[in-house]
Protein backbone atom coordinates (compact mmCIF):
# COMPACT_ATOMS: atom_id res chain seq x y z
CA UNK A 1 0.00 0.00 0.00
CA UNK A 2 1.29 3.46 -0.90
CA UNK A 3 2.15 5.92 1.85
CA UNK A 4 0.23 9.19 1.75
CA UNK A 5 2.61 12.16 1.53
CA UNK A 6 0.38 15.05 0.41
CA UNK A 7 -2.86 16.65 1.58
CA UNK A 8 -5.17 19.49 0.59
CA UNK A 9 -6.67 20.65 3.87
CA UNK A 10 -9.68 22.98 3.58
CA UNK A 11 -11.16 25.22 6.27
CA UNK A 12 -14.91 24.93 5.75
CA UNK A 13 -15.94 28.03 7.71
CA UNK A 14 -13.74 31.14 7.96
CA UNK A 15 -13.08 32.05 11.57
CA UNK A 16 -13.48 28.46 12.77
CA UNK A 17 -10.03 26.90 13.05
CA UNK A 18 -9.50 23.31 11.94
CA UNK A 19 -6.83 20.88 13.14
CA UNK A 20 -4.45 19.55 10.52
CA UNK A 21 -4.59 15.99 9.22
CA UNK A 22 -3.23 12.99 11.13
CA UNK A 23 0.18 12.60 9.47
CA UNK A 24 2.60 11.18 11.97
CA UNK A 25 5.91 12.90 12.67
CA UNK A 26 7.99 14.54 10.00
CA UNK A 27 9.07 17.63 8.12
CA UNK A 28 6.39 19.27 5.99
CA UNK A 29 6.14 21.99 3.35
CA UNK A 30 2.93 24.01 3.80
CA UNK A 31 1.56 26.52 1.32
CA UNK A 32 -1.68 28.42 0.88
CA UNK A 33 -3.44 26.81 -2.09
CA UNK A 34 -2.90 28.98 -5.20
CA UNK A 35 -6.56 28.33 -6.12
CA UNK A 36 -7.83 30.02 -2.92
CA UNK A 37 -10.31 32.88 -3.28
CA UNK A 38 -8.86 34.75 -0.30
CA UNK A 39 -5.31 35.96 0.23
CA UNK A 40 -4.31 34.62 3.66
CA UNK A 41 -4.38 31.40 5.68
CA UNK A 42 -3.32 31.31 9.35
CA UNK A 43 -1.34 28.44 10.85
CA UNK A 44 -0.31 27.66 14.42
CA UNK A 45 -1.61 26.67 17.83
CA UNK A 46 -2.35 29.28 20.48
CA UNK A 47 -2.04 26.72 23.29
CA UNK A 48 -5.79 26.19 23.44
CA UNK A 49 -5.97 24.17 20.18
CA UNK A 50 -7.04 27.18 18.13
CA UNK A 51 -5.53 29.76 15.80
CA UNK A 52 -6.69 33.09 14.37
CA UNK A 53 -5.31 36.01 12.39
CA UNK A 54 -4.09 37.47 15.69
CA UNK A 55 -2.29 34.33 16.94
CA UNK A 56 -1.18 32.49 13.81
CA UNK A 57 1.50 32.70 11.17
CA UNK A 58 0.03 34.23 8.00
CA UNK A 59 0.52 32.21 4.81
CA UNK A 60 -0.04 34.43 1.79
CA UNK A 61 -1.39 32.94 -1.42
CA UNK A 62 1.17 32.67 -4.26
CA UNK A 63 4.23 32.82 -1.99
CA UNK A 64 6.75 30.06 -1.29
CA UNK A 65 5.80 27.38 1.26
CA UNK A 66 7.06 27.29 4.81
CA UNK A 67 8.81 24.19 6.16
CA UNK A 68 8.22 22.86 9.65
CA UNK A 69 8.96 19.73 11.66
CA UNK A 70 6.24 18.48 14.00
CA UNK A 71 5.30 15.28 15.77
CA UNK A 72 1.94 15.34 13.92
CA UNK A 73 0.16 17.93 11.76
CA UNK A 74 -3.02 17.34 13.81
CA UNK A 75 -1.39 19.49 16.52
CA UNK A 76 -1.27 22.43 14.09
CA UNK A 77 -4.41 24.48 13.47
CA UNK A 78 -5.51 26.32 10.33
CA UNK A 79 -7.91 29.21 9.77
CA UNK A 80 -8.73 31.58 6.94
CA UNK A 81 -10.59 34.80 6.18
CA UNK A 82 -12.46 33.11 3.32
CA UNK A 83 -14.61 29.98 3.79
CA UNK A 84 -13.47 26.99 1.76
CA UNK A 85 -9.84 28.10 1.32
CA UNK A 86 -7.18 25.47 1.94
CA UNK A 87 -3.52 24.72 2.47
CA UNK A 88 -1.47 22.20 0.54
CA UNK A 89 0.76 20.00 2.72
CA UNK A 90 3.65 17.87 1.46
CA UNK A 91 5.57 15.52 3.75
CA UNK A 92 9.24 16.00 2.90
CA UNK A 93 10.80 13.46 5.23
CA UNK A 94 10.91 11.79 8.57
CA UNK A 95 9.22 9.42 10.87
CA UNK A 96 10.41 11.37 13.88
CA UNK A 97 10.30 14.93 15.11
CA UNK A 98 13.00 17.40 13.97
CA UNK A 99 14.15 15.44 10.92
CA UNK A 100 15.72 17.75 8.36
CA UNK A 101 14.65 17.50 4.71
CA UNK A 102 17.07 15.94 2.27
CA UNK A 103 19.59 18.29 0.64
CA UNK A 104 19.10 16.63 -2.75
Q: What is the CATH number of domain 6-93?
A: 2.60.120
- d(Cα 36, Cα 102) in Å, to the nearest integer? 29
pLDDT in tens, 30-75: 999 999 999 999 999 999 999 999 999 999 999 999 999 999 999 9
The pLDDT of residue 99 is above 50? no
Contact present, 78 and 11 (Cβ < 8 Å): yes
Grouping H, G, I as helix, E, B as strand and the rest as coil, residue 44 is strand
pLDDT in tens, 84-93: 999 999 999 8
Question: Of 16-25, 59-68, 95-104, which gets the smallest average pLDDT?
Answer: 95-104
Determine whether 32 is exposed, middle or buried from the number of CB atoms within 10 Å of its CB (0-12, 13-18, 19+): buried
Grouping H, G, I as helix, E, B as strand and the rest as coil, residue 58 is strand
Q: What is the pTM of this model?
A: 0.85
Contact present, 68 and 30 (Cβ < 8 Å): yes
- What's the rounded mean pLDDT across residues 9-37? 96
Determine whether 94 is exposed, middle or buried from the number of CB atoms within 10 Å of its CB (0-12, 13-18, 19+): middle
Amino acid sequence: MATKVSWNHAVTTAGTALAGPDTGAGTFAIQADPANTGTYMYIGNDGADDVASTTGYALKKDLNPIVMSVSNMNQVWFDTDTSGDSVVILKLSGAQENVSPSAT
